[in-house]
Chain A
Amino acid sequence: MRPLSAEPRYLPQGGAAHPAQAGQRRVAVAPRPLRRDPAPSRLAFRLQRLWLTPFVRSITRIGLPVFALVLGLGLWLGDDGRRAELVARYDDVKTAIQNRPEFMVSLLKIEGAGPEVDGAIRAMLPVELPASSFDIDLEAYRTMIRRLDAVADASLVIRSGGLLEVRVTERTPAILWRTPLGLEMLDAEGHRVATLIDRASRPDLPLIAGEGANAAVPEALAVLRAAQPILSRARGLVRVGERRWDLVLDRDQRILLPAADPVRAVERLIALDAAEDLLDRDFTHLDLRNQTRPTIRLSANALEQFRAITGQATKVKATP
C-alpha cells in the first residue's frame, strides 16, 4: 500500500529539477534515476548483518579462498598425466640448472697422498668427471676415502674453476704386526695402514705379534721405547692372552712383562741388566710378572751346570 500522503512533487535539491534555461546548451545527460529511499532493503540489511557476523566473515575471507585453492589444485592434480608432466618439467629444470658450466667439476686434485692412495681415491670417485657438483655427494665420498686404511683424514673442497680438491692426511706406519695371514703395518694408534709382503723392506719398524696386539699398539711402542738399550737384541713383542706382553730376544729368550705397567718392568730389567749383566746369562724365560720376585728359568744346559756347581747333582750311587 502506498502511504496516503502524496509523494513530494519537487526534489529536495531544487536546482536539479529546474528545466534547462533557454540560453543554456542542452546537455544530453539522462536524468539520474532518483533514489527515492535511502533506507536499505530488508535483504540488503540482512546481508550486511550477515557479513558483519565474525564467523561468516572469517569463513568468507579465509575459509572460502583456501577451500577454492585446495579444490582447484586437487582437481588439477587429480590427473596422473598432468602430475607426471609436472614432475618431469620440474626435473628438467633442475637438471638444466645443475648442468650449467658454473657447477661442473672437471678436475680432481689430490694432495698429501702417495701414489697407491692417490690411485685408490681416484678409483673411488663415484661419478665420471666432468660432472655437476650437485651429483657429487662430498660427504659420502669423504667417508669412503676415510674408510681407506692408509688415510687418517681427508677434506674435500670444490674450488672455483671446477676443481675438486681432496686433501689427505696419510697414516704413517709405526709398527709391524705379524698375523697368521701375513704382515700388517700399523700406525701409532694401532690402525692398519697396509699389508707388507716382505719384512726386510721395512727393517726400521719393530715387530709385534699375537692376537689382539693391534689393540695395544701405544703400549707396545712405550715398551719398546723403554727397551731402547736392548733393542738390538729384541726380536719383537708378543701379546699374550690379549692382556700382557712378552719381549722376545734373540737366543730364544723371553721376558714376561706384567699386564700392569710393563714400562716400569722393562726399566727395571734394563737396570738389572746394567748391574748384573742379566741378559747375557743363559736363560730361556725371565718372568717379571711378579714385581717383588723376578724369576728366571734357566736353559737345560745351564741348569745342569748350575747343579754341578752347587753340588746338587743327583749322583746315582751304585751300591754294591
Chain B
Amino acid sequence: MTDLYESQRAMRAMRKAAMQRGVIALLDIGTSKIACLVLRFEPDTGLRAPETIGSLAGQSTFRVIGAATTRSRGVRFGEIDAMAETERAIRTAVQAAQKMANTRVDHVIAAFAGAQPRSYGLAGEVEVAGSHVDEQDVARVLAACDMPPIGQGREVLHAHPVNFALDHRSGLGDPRGHVGRRLAADMHLLTVDAAAIQNLIYCIRRCDLELAGIASSAYVSGLSALVEDEQELGAACIDMGGGATGVSIFMKKHMIFADAVRLGGDHITRDIAAGLQVPMAVAERIKTFHGGVHATGMDDREMIELAGNSGDWEKDRRQVSRAELIGIMRPRVEEILEDVRGLLDAAGFDHLPSQQIVLTGGASQIPGLDGLAARILGQNVRLGRPLRVQGLPQAATGAGFASAVGLALFAAHPQDEWWDFEIPAERLGGRSLKRAYRWFRANW
C-alpha cells in the first residue's frame, strides 16, 4: 500500500518534471493497436486569470506534435502477453511519434484496458479538528476510509475522492474552509492486477522511457468521449477495443465505476475467420469494409469476394453475402453488449438519474451498432468520438483514439487522486517537530 503510494507520488513528480521539460508521450497500449501521441506543453504565459480554465476548455496549453500508430503485438485482452513483442511494438510507435515530433521524449503516460479492473466505493468519516476544515482534515478523512480487501496481487490504479459531506450537507466539491463538525468522504478505488502493471513498467523501462503515470483506458476514454454535461449528469462510456471492452460510469465529473469485459473486436474477427474459413487479415478486412449488425434484404444480394491463399482455387474463389457476414458478427456483438449490460446492472446504473450511454473505441464503428446497443443497453445511446485537441492529425480523430486523446486530457489536467493530497500528520513518523508545533498551537 505504502510503496504504491510512493510509486504513484514518484510518477506524479515525474509528470511534473515532464511538464517542465514541455514534452510528454502518451501511450495507449491496446490489443489491436498501440498509439503514441507526443504532447508539447506551452509554458504558462500568465495571461489568464488563475481561477479560470482558459480558452479551448483548458486545452490550449498543450498541442499534439507527434502521433503514430502501430499494429499491436503481444497484447491480449488489453494486457501484455508477450513482453518482447510488446516492447518492440512500443518502440515502433514511440520512434515514429518522436520522428514526427522531431524531438526526444523521455516521459510516458500509459493506458491499458485489461488487467481485470475492479471498482470499490469507500467511505470515511472523521471529526474536524478545528472549527474549519483544513488540508489536514481532508487528509485524515481520506486516510480514515477503510481499505476493502482488494486481494493478493492487486494494486490501486485510481483512487478518486468523489464526494465530501460535512455534517448534513453532501456533495461538496471542496470542503476546505467550511465550518462543520463531522467530515465524511466517498472515494472510488480502482484496482487492477499487479502483474499487469509490473509488466507494463518493465516494458517501458526496457524502452529507456520513464513512466510518468498509468491510467485505466476505460477512465481516460470516458474523459475524452463524454461531453461535459454527460460527465456532470451521469453517463456510461463503453470503450469497445480490440481485446477488451471497458465500461466507466461518470457522475458529477468523477468516475464512480469502471470495469471491463474481456471481449472485443478481435473476437468478432476471429469469429469471421472461423466461420468463413479465411485468414485473420482477410477477416479483419471484410469486417471493416462490409461489417454490420442489421441485415436487410439488400444484404442478401451484396456478395463479398473472399480471397485466400490456400492454393485451392475453389476455396479461394468463394463468395459470401453480406447477410451471412452479419449473421456471424451479430451474435458476438450482442454477447459483448449483453456482458456490458450485466456490468452496468451490477454497478446499479439503472439508479442513476441520467441513463446516457456513449459507445466509443475502434469496435464501435460497426455500422448499425447504435441501433443494436439501444435495444440492449437502453434508449439513450450515442456514438462518441474523442474531443478535438490542438494539433491532432485527422487520422487520429476517430473513435479508436478516444483513450489516446483522453490520456492527453489526463496528462494536462489530472484529477486529484488520493496521493495528491497531504499525508495526515499522524502517519508522518519522522516529522515529530511538525507534530510538536501542531500540539503547541492546539494547546496554547
Q: Which residues of A contact B (CB under 8 A)?
A: 3, 10, 12, 14, 17-18, 37-40, 42, 44-46, 48-49, 52-54
Selected from A14, A37, A42, A48, the residue in CB contact (under 8 A) with B307 is: A14
* Nearest chain B residue, comparing its CB with the CB of A44: B95
List the 3 closest A-B pairs by CB distance, nearest first.
A39-B88, A52-B104, A39-B92
Contact status B279-A10, CB under 8 Å: yes
For the complex, what is the distance from the CA of A228 to the CA of B208, rounded to whole Å?
108
Known: A10-B279, A52-B102. A18 touches B91 (CB 8 A): no
Does chain A have a CB within 8 A of B417? no
Does chain A have a CB within 8 A of B248? no
Selected from A18, A40, A52, the residue in CB contact (under 8 A) with B103 is: A52
Q: 6 A-B residue contacts at CB 8 Å?
A: A3-B85, A37-B88, A40-B92, A48-B95, A49-B98, A54-B104
Q: Which residues of A contact B394 (CB under 8 A)?
A: none
Q: How far is the CB of A55 from chain B (nearest CB, A)?
A: 10
Known: A12-B281, A49-B208. A3 touches B82 (CB 8 A): yes
For the complex, what is the distance from the CA of A44 to the CA of B207, rounded to whole Å?
11
Q: Which residues of B contact A3 (CB under 8 A)?
A: 82, 85
Contact status A48-B92, CB under 8 Å: no
Q: Which residues 31-48 of B sit at the A interface, judged by CB distance below 8 A?
A: none
Q: How far is the CB of A308 from chain B (nearest CB, A)?
A: 114
Selected from B91, B98, B279, the residue in CB contact (under 8 A) with A39 is: B91
Query: Which of A39, A46, A49 has the most CB atoms of chain B within a 10 A radius of its CB?
Result: A39
* Nearest chain A residue, comparing its CB with the CB of B85: A3
Does chain A have a CB within 8 A of B70? yes
Q: Which residues of B contact A (CB under 8 A)?
A: 70, 82, 85, 88-89, 91-92, 94-95, 98-99, 102-104, 207-208, 279, 281, 307, 309
Contact status B89-A39, CB under 8 Å: yes
* Nearest chain A residue, comparing its CB with the CB of B206: A42
For the complex, what is the distance from the CA of A12 to the CA of B284, rounded to whole Å?
12
Q: How far is the CB of A52 from chain B (nearest CB, A)?
A: 4
Q: How far is the CB of A3 from chain B (nearest CB, A)?
A: 6
Selected from B91, B94, B103, the residue in CB contact (under 8 A) with A42 is: B91
For the complex, what is the distance from the CA of A225 to the CA of B412, rounded to whole Å?
98
For the complex, what is the distance from the CA of A88 to the CA of B14, rounded to whole Å?
64
* Nearest chain B residue, comparing its CB with the CB of A53: B104
Q: How far is the CB of A19 from chain B (nearest CB, A)?
A: 9
Q: Which residues of A contact B104 (CB under 8 A)?
A: 49, 52-54
Q: Which residues of A contact B92 (CB under 8 A)?
A: 38-40
Contact status A48-B99, CB under 8 Å: yes
Q: How far is the CB of B162 from chain A (nearest CB, A)?
A: 40
For the complex, what is the distance from the CA of A235 to the CA of B294, rounded to whole Å?
139
* Nearest chain A residue, comparing its CB with the CB of B316: A14
Contact status B70-A38, CB under 8 Å: yes
Known: A10-B309, A14-B307, A45-B207. A40 touches B91 (CB 8 A): yes
For the complex, what is the distance from the CA of A39 to the CA of B281, rounded to whole Å?
20
For the complex, what is the distance from the CA of A48 to the CA of B281, rounded to whole Å?
31
Q: Which residues of B contact A18 (CB under 8 A)?
A: 309
Given contacts A39-B88, A45-B94, 8 further A-B contacts (CB under 8 A): A10-B309, A14-B309, A37-B88, A40-B91, A44-B95, A45-B208, A48-B98, A54-B104
* Nearest chain B residue, comparing its CB with the CB of A9: B309
For the complex, what is the distance from the CA of A17 to the CA of B309, rounded to whole Å?
9
For the complex, what is the distance from the CA of A52 to the CA of B66, rounded to whole Å?
13
Contact status B89-A46, CB under 8 Å: no
Q: Which residues of B contact A46 (CB under 8 A)?
A: 208
Q: Which residues of A contact B208 (CB under 8 A)?
A: 45-46, 49
For the complex, what is the distance from the CA of A320 to the CA of B24, rounded to whole Å?
145
For the complex, what is the distance from the CA of A18 to the CA of B85, rounded to whole Å?
28
Q: How far is the CB of A264 from chain B (nearest CB, A)?
A: 80
Query: Which of A17, A40, A49 has the most CB atoms of chain B within a 10 A radius of its CB?
Result: A49
Q: Which residues of B contact A40 (CB under 8 A)?
A: 91-92, 95
Q: Which residues of B contact A10 (CB under 8 A)?
A: 279, 309
For the complex, what is the distance from the CA of A37 to the CA of B279, rounded to whole Å?
20
For the complex, what is the distance from the CA of A111 to the CA of B307, rounded to whole Å?
105
* Nearest chain A residue, comparing its CB with the CB of B104: A52
Q: Which residues of A contact B91 (CB under 8 A)?
A: 39-40, 42, 45
For the complex, what is the distance from the CA of A53 to the CA of B104, rounded to whole Å?
6
For the complex, what is the distance from the CA of A38 to the CA of B71, rounded to whole Å?
10
Query: Which of A3, A37, A42, A45 has the most CB atoms of chain B within a 10 A radius of its CB?
Result: A45
* Nearest chain A residue, comparing its CB with the CB of B90: A39
* Nearest chain A residue, comparing its CB with the CB of B311: A18
Q: Which residues of B contact A52 (CB under 8 A)?
A: 98-99, 102-104
For the complex, what is the distance from the CA of A46 to the CA of B209, rounded to whole Å?
11
* Nearest chain A residue, comparing its CB with the CB of B281: A12
For the complex, what is the distance from the CA of A38 to the CA of B89, rounded to whole Å?
9
Q: How far is the CB of B107 from chain A (nearest CB, A)?
A: 13
Q: Which residues of B contact A54 (CB under 8 A)?
A: 103-104
* Nearest chain B residue, comparing its CB with the CB of A4: B82
Q: Which residues of B contact A38 (CB under 8 A)?
A: 70, 92
For the complex, what is the distance from the CA of A46 to the CA of B279, rounded to whole Å?
36
Q: Which residues of A contact B307 (CB under 8 A)?
A: 14
For the complex, what is the distance from the CA of A105 to the CA of B133, rounded to whole Å?
100
Q: How far is the CB of B9 from chain A (nearest CB, A)?
A: 27
For the complex, what is the distance from the CA of A52 to the CA of B96, rounded to whole Å?
12
For the complex, what is the distance from the CA of A52 to the CA of B91, rounded to whole Å?
15
For the complex, what is the distance from the CA of A63 to the CA of B444, rounded to whole Å?
66
Q: Which residues of A contact B207 (CB under 8 A)?
A: 45
Q: How far is the CB of B84 from chain A (nearest CB, A)?
A: 8
Query: Which of A44, A52, A54 has the most CB atoms of chain B within a 10 A radius of its CB?
Result: A52
For the complex, what is the distance from the CA of A54 to the CA of B104, rounded to whole Å?
8
